[in-house]
């Protein structure tokens, strides 16, 4: 065993506890060191600097080397992720890795309206072909909804679309606004199955072009437009899925106020988004640089309590909150496996660097959700009618069984019934 192997073994033994990760490290001169027999993952270092970065927990540098192809990682993405977590635990770097994987650790940048389109285009304008390789058949890029946990991604995403439409109590003839409409999957589903008309806005040109072609014969309108520029008459229902993360912490009050102004009295608003489980909020970390630069530029997260507070301050009544954390673990695992299975096609569609970025990002986020460092939540809220709260169903049964929906009677309804009797 070389001096480097002896050094790694001594360092690893110093911390003790737990099983060694099934990991092999190959050094820049061809020498190697196995942390455990029959390693499932091999990391090939191209310079001593990368070894120093690994031992110091400098994940920014390691990520940069991996994205650039200087550091090579062989093994299934699940094994790679588990080996990395095990190594971090043994070297007492798990708190650092935890911050690395927590999107809430992003330092929220001061953002302008002009800069927002560039963030969105970086994230989504790789190519439709790239995303089609690992998303479902409807190109839904958000948490799916599982009823048994055994469904494939196509079924689970269809279940999610229907679940959200039921939550909104969509009725034929109503007008729906989808803020951050993606490739148009939700609007298409709502128009076809619930017979509503709608407007979808996005800042991604490839999403805009794709959704317009896809829904050319539907009673919906797709716009390449900033949500702040929507000036239509009020909508009956509004939905926003994984959009608030792009808004930034500073602009959350204005964001929810804009939605409130666009919604008719008595209308429903559904917000789905990723939240941090850290009540302390964003703190910044060594990992934030990688995510902000490569995977989620301009993004920022808040704790659920902040979302509920801002929705309420805008004038809404929050009536339902549903945590979907286990659903996102399964969704991200599915995406990650599908991307890995189509490696060559993904590289051909978007390039080797972008493939490696998303390989790390999807697997890392699955781990972060599985460990409870992040969650995803649907918040349903109603806009009051004049000085009264909007009527709503007595129970949540309507979200699941599709039966006739009895509404809570308003005081005025009760008084009217008393007068009639």
Least confident of 85-89, 128-132, 398-402: 85-89
Query: Under a CB-based contact definition with an 8 Å cutoff, are residues 270 and 378 in contact?
Result: yes
Alpha helices in 58-143 (DSSP H): 59-67, 77-90, 94-101, 116-124, 128-134
User: Positive or negative CA dihedral for 202, 299, 303, 100?
Assistant: positive
pLDDT of residue 366: 87
Looking at the DSSP bridge assignments, the partners of residue 376 are: 274
> Rounded to the nearest 10 degrees, how much is the dihedral formed by the CA atoms of 219, 224, 227, 232?
-50
The three-state (H, E, C) secondary structure of 291-354, written as one string: HHHHHCCCCCCCEHHHHHHHHHHCCCEEEEEEECHHHHHHHHHHHHHHHHHCHHHHHHHHCHHH
pLDDT of residue 278: 79
Pairing between strand 374-382 and 263-276?
Answer: antiparallel
Mean pLDDT in residue range 344-362:
90
Mean pLDDT in residue range 342-365:
90
Q: Which pairs from 210-219 meet CB under 8 Å and 24+ separation?
A: 210/128, 210/139, 210/183, 210/184, 211/181, 211/182, 211/183, 211/184, 211/187, 212/184, 214/183, 214/184, 214/188, 215/184, 215/187, 215/188, 215/191, 218/187, 218/188, 218/191, 218/192, 219/191
**Structural element, H or E, at residue 103:** none
Nearest CA-CA partner of 171 in 377, 396, 405: 405
pLDDT of residue 406: 52
Q: For residues 53 and 255, what is the distance between their CA atoms, to the nearest angstrom?
A: 40
Q: For residues 119 and 124, what is the distance between their CA atoms, to the nearest angstrom?
A: 9
Q: For residues 355 and 126, what is the distance between their CA atoms, to the nearest angstrom?
A: 10
CATH code for the structural domain at 3-92: 3.30.1050.10
pLDDT of residue 2: 62
Mean pLDDT in residue range 89-109:
45
Give percent of the chain above pLDDT 70.
74
For the chain, the domains span 3-92, 116-390
Q: Of 24 and 289, which is predicted with more confidence? A: 24
pLDDT of residue 254: 95
Nearest CA-CA partner of 301 in 249, 367, 240: 249
- The angle, 0 to 180 degrees and rounded to 10, between the axes of the packed helices 205-214 and 116-124 is 70
pLDDT of residue 282: 44
CATH code for the structural domain at 116-390: 3.40.50.150
pLDDT at 253 over 50: yes
Q: What is the pLDDT of residues 32-87, one digit of tens each?
A: 888 778 888 888 888 888 877 776 666 667 777 777 888 888 877 777 777 766 66
Least confident of 26-30, 88-92, 209-213, 404-408: 404-408
Q: How far is CA 194 from CA 186, 201, 416, in A?
A: 11, 20, 31
User: Positive or negative CA dihedral for 97, 300, 379, 149?
Assistant: negative
Count of other CB atoms within 10 angstroms of residue 199: 21
pLDDT at 260 over 80: yes
Count of other CB atoms within 10 angstroms of residue 139: 18
Top mean-pLDDT range of 51-60, 123-132, 200-209, 406-415? 200-209
pLDDT at 139 over 50: yes
Mean pLDDT value across the chain: 80
Mean pLDDT in residue range 401-405:
57
pLDDT of residue 146: 96
Helix (H, G, I), strand (E, B) or coil at 238: strand
Mean pLDDT in residue range 100-128:
47
pLDDT at 118 over 90: no
Alpha helices in 18-76 (DSSP H): 48-56, 59-67
Q: For residues 383 and 395, what is the distance between their CA atoms, to the nearest angstrom?
A: 18
Top mean-pLDDT range of 71-85, 111-125, 317-331? 317-331
What secondary structure letter does DSSP report for 250?
G
pLDDT of residue 288: 46
pLDDT at 13 over 50: yes
Least confident of 51-55, 97-101, 230-234, 373-377: 97-101
pLDDT band at 90 (very low <50, low <70, confident <90, very high): low
Q: For residues 247 and 116, what is the distance between their CA atoms, to the nearest angstrom?
A: 8
pLDDT at 144 over 70: yes
pLDDT at 119 over 60: no
Top mean-pLDDT range of 21-35, 69-83, 240-254? 240-254
pLDDT of residue 75: 79
Q: Of 44 and 383, which is predicted with more confidence? A: 383
Q: Of 180 and 388, which is predicted with more confidence? A: 180
Mean pLDDT in residue range 323-336:
95
């Amino acid at each position: 065993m070389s001096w480097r192997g002896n050094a790694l073994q001594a360092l690893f033994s110093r911390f003790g506890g737990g099983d060694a990760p099934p990991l092999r490290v190959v050094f820049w001169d061809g020498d190697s060191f196995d942390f455990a027999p029959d390693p499932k993952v091999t990391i090939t270092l191209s310079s001593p600097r990368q070894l120093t970065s690994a031992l110091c927990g400098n994940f920014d540098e390691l990520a940069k080397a991996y994205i650039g192809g200087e550091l090579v990682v062989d093994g299934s993405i699940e094994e790679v992720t588990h080996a990395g977590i095990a190594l971090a635990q043994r070297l007492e770097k798990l708190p650092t890795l935890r911050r690395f994987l927590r999107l809430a650790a992003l330092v929220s940048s001061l953002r302008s309206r002009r800069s927002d389109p560039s963030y969105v285009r970086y994230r989504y304008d790789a190519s439709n072909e790239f995303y089609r390789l690992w998303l479902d058949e409807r190109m839904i890029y958000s948490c799916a909804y599982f009823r048994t946990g055994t469904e494939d991604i196509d079924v689970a995403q269809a279940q999610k679309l229907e679940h959200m439409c039921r939550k909104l109590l969509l009725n034929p003839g109503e007008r729906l606004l989808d803020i951050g409409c993606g490739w148009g999957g939700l609007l298409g589903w709502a128009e076809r199955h619930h017979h509503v008309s709608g407007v979808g806005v996005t800042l991604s040109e490839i999403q805009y072009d794709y959704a317009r072609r896809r829904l050319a014969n539907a009673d919906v309108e797709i716009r390449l437009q900033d949500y702040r520029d929507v000036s239509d008459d009020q909508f009956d229902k509004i939905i926003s899925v994984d959009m608030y993360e792009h808004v930034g912490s500073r602009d959350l009050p204005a964001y929810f106020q804009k939605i409130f102004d666009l919604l008719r009295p008595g209308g429903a608003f559904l917000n789905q988004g990723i939240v941090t489980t850290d009540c302390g909020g964003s703190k910044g970390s060594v990992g934030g640089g990688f995510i902000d630069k490569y995977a989620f530029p301009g993004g920022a997260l808040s704790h659920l309590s902040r979302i509920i507070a801002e929705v309420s301050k805008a004038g809404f009544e929050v009536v339902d909150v549903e945590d979907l954390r286990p659903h996102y673990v399964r969704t991200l695992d599915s995406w990650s496996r599908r991307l890995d299975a189509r490696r060559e096609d993904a590289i051909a569609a978007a390039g080797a660097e972008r493939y490696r970025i998303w390989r790390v990002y999807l697997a890392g986020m699955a781990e972060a959700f599985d460990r409870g460092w992040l969650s995803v939540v649907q918040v349903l809220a109603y806009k009051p009618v004049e000085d009264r709260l909007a009527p709503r169903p007595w129970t949540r049964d309507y979200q699941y069984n599709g039966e006739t929906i009895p509404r809570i009677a308003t005081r005025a309804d009760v008084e009217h019934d008393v007068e009639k009797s």
